[in-house]
Amino acid sequence: MDISKVASVYFLGIGGIGMSALARYFRSLGAQVSGYDRTPSPLTTALQNEGMDIAFTDDVSLIPPGIDMVVNTPAVKQDHPAYEYFRESGIPVYKRAEVLGMISAQYKTIAIAGTHGKTTTTTLTAHILTHSHIKCQAFLGGISRNYDSNLLLDDHSPFLVAEADEFDRSFLHLHPHIAVITSVDADHLDIYGNHESLLESFTSFAGNIKEGGTLIIKRGLELPLRLNADVKVFRYSSGGVCDFYPQNLRLEHGLYTFDLRYPEGLIPGLTLGVPGFYNIENAVAASACALLSGVSQRELRDALASFNGVERRFDIRINEGGLVYLDDYGHHPEELKACISSIRQMFPGKKITGIFQPHLYTRTRDFATEFAEELSHLDEVILLPIYPARETPIPGITSEWLLELISNPDKKHVGKSEIPACLDPGSLEVLVTMGAGDIDTLVKPIEDYLKQFLHTNQYKR
């Protein structure tokens, strides 16, 4: 299908982060964009304000006439009334990944994959290129704080930066010029069945890199590679000698400064504009993409310092009056480990209270021991019910069951409606919310609740 000629496109699951970026892209082309989502959110409100018509019920009579193309997300099942309506109408339905593949085929694509770190690395790569003379289009897996969007546009740049999602093998629709693999930890076992199958999918993704292209892969990843001809391979790390790595890493005023060693030499005194030790690794990967794409040292330096991060990625909402509140998308044990350890480094000696919403029954079941271990490193644990997303309940797999596995005795299970009222602001020092479900709807209420406490008790704390 010639995307440029699509006049009206409908999105099933338009409020998803990847879907909404595509919706914005088609709107930028002048197409009429409409869609369905299960519940309203700040993102769907933003899309409506941008001129998109969104329904929140299953009533197919609300679907506008004249739809040329439908984009579907795996989160919307094929027995959904709207899906059946389009199928019976003969209107072509494409997966989100297929459409991103069609778009990316027109550009020199930089695709960033990995079970962790890909959203921040993608967003930072796009920011560096946008901040440079090269520019880019970009489809991001989160809302960039620099641009307040998950879509970046440039009419003249040949580059496109895209988050390459391993879920449902979506990233196999991409054929990049440059690819990054940040991590290959076991995840999405409901789709892959086992870790070996996941690794094979990443191997296939690397095999999609165009001839003469580049693979940038984290040092130490054990992944069999079957690459096309003349594909160059570079390794990166947050520590340890390889092609791209930091030296003289130090924490200054809450931010990390480092010298970047790369194949052409050394770039001294780079400062990353967002906190969190694990973001150094993301910054090195993004810097490798940028330098290999022709970004200058000066442009890189300025862009790293001006990076404001991504919403819900180590997102510090409050840091005043002796109280810190931050929000993070972490929903895998390795992500919780990175988040909690970074908080410990930034705020040593502080009591850390964590609110965690498990995401998916299968993930909770498959990694229960690992989740319990990482959550036990918190000083206080608050568990919300499991967010089911696309899944039906599994007997015996509940948050209460997970709570029993956590060794920290200062723990409790609460309903989502009990937040933030169950919090005692006077006893909080560092509060973190974590999860990939609808816990994001609690962030603003918690923030407002804590700010009201701070402003009321500013002389008592």
Residues with catalytic roles: 118-119, 163
Report whether 282 contacts 122 (CB < 8 A).
Answer: no
Strand-pair partners of 246: 260
d(CA 166, CA 198): 8
Count CB atoms within 10 A of the CB of residue 455.
10
Distance of CA 369 to CAs 79, 247, 332, 333, 421, Å? 35, 35, 12, 9, 29
The residue type at 389: A
Residue 217 burial (C-beta neighbours within 10 Å; 0-12, 13-18, 19+): buried
Burial of 97 by CB count in 10 Å (0-12 exposed, 13-18 middle, 19+ buried)? buried
Q: CA 425 → CA 101, 433, 444, distances in Å? A: 47, 14, 15
DSSP state of 359: B
Amino acid type, 221:
L
Query: Rounded CA gap, 95 and 71, in Å?
Result: 6
The Cα angle at residue 456 between residues 451 and 458, in degrees rounded to 5: 85
- What residues form DSSP beta bridges with 257? 250, 271
Q: What is the DSSP letter of 386?
A: P
Distance CA 186, CA 180 (A): 18
d(CA 121, CA 281): 9
For the chain, give percent helix, strand, coil, nearest 5.
Answer: 35, 25, 40
What's 230's DSSP letter? Answer: T
Name the 3-class secondary structure at 19.
helix
What is the rounded CA–CA span in Å between residue 453 and residue 20? 35
Q: Which one-letter DSSP state was computed for residue 361? A: H
Place of tokens 């593949």: 101
- Three-state DSSP class for 288? helix
